[in-house]
Structure 1
Amino acid sequence: MALHVDQGVSAVVPQAWTHKSNANEVLCDRWWRTGPDSFTVTAHWPEAHGFYLTRHGLYDPLLLGETIRQTLPLISHAAYDVPLGHQLLWHDFHWAVSTDALAAGDASAEIELHITCSDVTYRGTRAADVTLRVEALHAGASLGSARTRFGIQSRAVYERLRGRYADIAAANARALPLPSPAPALPAGRENFDDVVLSSADSANRWQLRVDTAHPVLFDHPVDHAPGMLLLEAARQAAHTLAHPRQTVVAAMDTVFTRYAELDAPCWLKADPLPDDLIGRARVRVVGHQNDKDVFASVVTLATVD
């Protein structure tokens, strides 16, 4: 059962509640309840991260995405009686960040997340679906905001729905060979090992590059391509389309429609959209596999010097 911390009393976040195997990848450190369905979570961003790189003097905006992703299991286990071993299913994820507030300093950054949960549906005594809204602060200033909805399934239900794909070892044994990476610089990457796109038959189409040995994106074995990998792929596709302009992601609006499996190619296509109301470029990235859409993301890019 969950540990129900009294309102206003902070507690250390157990590593298991973030669903990360590597303790060095845990960003959330403390949490407390501020109301029946509201919480505060503090997190620390390292001065330098091996994957979420500081570029243009800014923290990687996807650090905010990963921090919020860690709050999904945290709040589920801590506040809504979800046992360890249950599976979380991302429905959608919408976030925006103030690029000015991403300015990196000479030390780790303390992030404060104010979380409100709504539209909580239950299966018995535990939550089954949750909408989570976040207001994020960095050094007391507004960093960004997010809204996401996710579902929660017991392992038995998950195995019934996933069928043969629920077997993690078998799914990884069927994984496709790793294709060659696309050029790193246009994708906003310095290391080819961190490129998650492989060039295809046109300048705006790629195969998703699923490296199940990647130490961050595949922190532990799973039976499908993780949501953070899909977000990273959308980000890299948008940067590539904008190249050679220097850009940073300012917002992402993503809908996940089905799992991206490891045993078939997942194709991504990026198309420009009209600029937003303040003149920032927007790119729509769609991933499809076996002739069905897997996810779609509208990526908003801010230009940097």
Structure 2
Amino acid sequence: MLGTTGPTEQQFAVSALLPERHPLFNDGPNLFHDLHSPAEVLRRTALFVSHRYFRVPQERPAVFAATEVMVTGLDPWRRTPGPAHLTMDITLSPVDVVSGVPRGLECESALYVEGVRCGTATARLVFLMPRVYQNHRERGRVLSRGRFTGPEDGELWANEPAAKAVGRADQANVLLGRPVQSRQGELVVEVSVDPRNQVYGEATTDHVPAMVLIESTRQAALLLAGELHGFTVNSCVLSRWSARFQGFAEPDLPLHCRAVAGTLGRSADGRPALPVTLTLHQGARQIAAVDTVVLQDY
């Protein structure tokens, strides 16, 4: 990936070992490989290719407007002794090309674990002009200072979630505060935006990084499935995670997550599957909307 090309559709192959000792990805029951991994590989690849191949200037901030990871076969995602190999066939299509430089990329990928096709990943990446980015951040920050309104009939839980209730083992990885539960079964919880939290990892952005947004919604979906719908969290996996982002979350302002369950169903092979809709809010502004499916393994 060291050359440049014209603004036309391009295909790439990416190969990587799935992490075995990551402080977040491998924290918990460790029965399945975490969907964080292919999402992060796709993000890094799209950013690298956009600058090296499609000549997008480094000073243009990159924004992921939407992203989705889906499991199409569960067994290859199960952890086995020794390292596992992830391969991604990625197609990147430039959009809104101006003077030979794209203002965005459409990303599509097929996922293989140990050579077996078992998932897909997609993303829509937008490159903003610096002034547009600054205006967007300034307008969003004004709305983020507004008042967040939770459920009027909400009841505050007695304690913050334990790590095992959100699919982790290390309490330091828990991003959720004490939930408020409405009579309709909606959960609203404040998300930790403390940059000292280890989930932030090596993030260098001036906004709440995508990893924190992904992990907080993952934890909220598992908490809802386990505490209110009887799922055994230690043997659950997210079979789909699909997000649309409307803005940036500011690290010095409160961030809240709403979680609402859909109708309980079953996967094609009969496993209980609970759809969950989540939204992230900062003040009077919605940051993201996420649809996911919590799958109960046997």
TM-score normalised to the size of structure 1?
0.77
Is 1:77 matched up with 2:51? Answer: yes
CA distance in 2, matches of 1:198, 1:44: 33
Q: Distance in 1 between matches of 2:16 and 2:288?
A: 28
1:285 aligns with 2:274: no
CA pair 99-217 structure 1, distance change in 2 beyond 3 A: farther
**Does residue 245 of structure 1 match 2:218?**
no
Assess if the C-alpha contact under 8 Å between 1:181 and 1:209 holds in 2: no
Q: Which position in structure 2 is the counterpart of 1:274?
A: 263
- 64-73 or 226-235: bigger deviation: 64-73
Q: Percent identity?
A: 23
Residues 175-214 of structure 1: matches in 2 within 5 Å?
Answer: 182-202=161-181, 204-214=187-197
Aligned length: 263
The structural deviation recorded for 1:160 is 4.7
Q: Find 1:232's aligned residue among 215, 218, 235.
A: 215
1:149 to 124, 128, 153: 124
SS at match of 2:216: helix
Matched, 1:101 2:76: yes
Letter in 2 for 1:191: D
How far apart are 1:216 and its partner, in Å?
Answer: 4.8
* Mapped contact 2:19–2:26 kept (Cα < 8 A): no
Residues 111 and 117 in structure 2, CA contact (< 8 A), matched pair in contact too: yes
Sort the Cα spacing of 1:124 and 1:293 in 2 relative to 1 into closer, same or farther, 3 A. Answer: same
My pick for the range that moved more, 125-134 or 151-160, is 151-160
2:20 pairs with one of 41, 47, 69: 47
1:92-171 residue pairs with structure 2 within 5 A?
A: 92-97=66-71, 98-118=73-93, 120-155=95-130, 157-163=132-138
In structure 2, C-alpha distance between the alignment counterparts of 1:76 and 1:207, rounded to whole Å: 34
Which secondary structure does the structure 2 equivalent of 1:185 belong to? Answer: helix
Displacement after TM superposition at 1:126 (Å) = 2.3
Q: Distance in 2 between matches of 1:3 and 1:133?
A: 21
What secondary structure is seen at the aligned counterpart in 2 of 1:101? helix
Per the alignment, do residues 36 and 65 of structure 1 end up closer, same or farther by CA in structure 2, a change over 3 Å counting?
A: closer
SS in 2 for 1:66: helix
Instruction: Identify unmatched segments of 5+ residues in structure 2.
Output: 142-158
CA pair 95-276 structure 1, distance change in 2 beyond 3 A: farther
Q: Distance in 2 between matches of 1:114 and 1:181?
A: 41
| 1:228 Cα deviation after fit | 2.0
Question: Offset of 1:238 from its aligned partner?
Answer: 0.6
- In the alignment, the residues of structure 1 paired with residue 84 and residue 30 of structure 2 have an alpha-carbon distance, to the nearest angstrom, of 17
AA aligned to 2:288 is: F
- Range that drifts further, 182-191 or 196-205: 196-205
Contact residue 9 and residue 93 of structure 2 kept, 8 A: no
After superposition, what is the alpha-carbon deviation per residue over 1:99-146, rounded to whole angstroms, capped at 9, x for unaligned?
Answer: 211122333222111111235222333221111001011111013102
Supply the RMSD in Å over aligned alpha carbons.
2.6
Partner of 1:3: 2
Q: List gaps (5 residues or longer) in structure 1.
A: 7-34, 167-179
- Worse-superposed segment, 214-223 or 123-132: 214-223
- Verify the 8 A CA contact 2:191 2:216 in the aligned structure 1: yes
Contact 2:266–2:273 (8 Å) recurs in 1 = yes
Contact 2:173-2:199 within 8 A present in 1 as well: no
State the SS of the aligned residue for 2:16. strand
> Is the CA contact (8 Å cut-off) linking 1:165 and 1:223 kept in structure 2?
no
1:227 Cα offset (Å)? 1.8
Instruction: Give the Cα–Cα distance (whole angstroms) in 2 for the partners of residues 258 and 5 of structure 1.
Output: 30
Offset at 1:303? 0.7
Q: Deviation of residue 231 (structure 1)?
A: 1.2
2:205 is the counterpart of 1:222: yes
Q: Deviations over 1:176-206 (max 9, x none)?
A: xxxx963221111111211111114337110
Structure 2 length-normalised TM: 0.79
Whole-angstrom distance in 2 between the partners of 1:160 and 1:217: 25
Q: 96-105 or 291-300: which moved more?
A: 96-105
Mapped contact 1:208–1:266 kept (Cα < 8 A): yes
Amino acid at match of 2:284: D
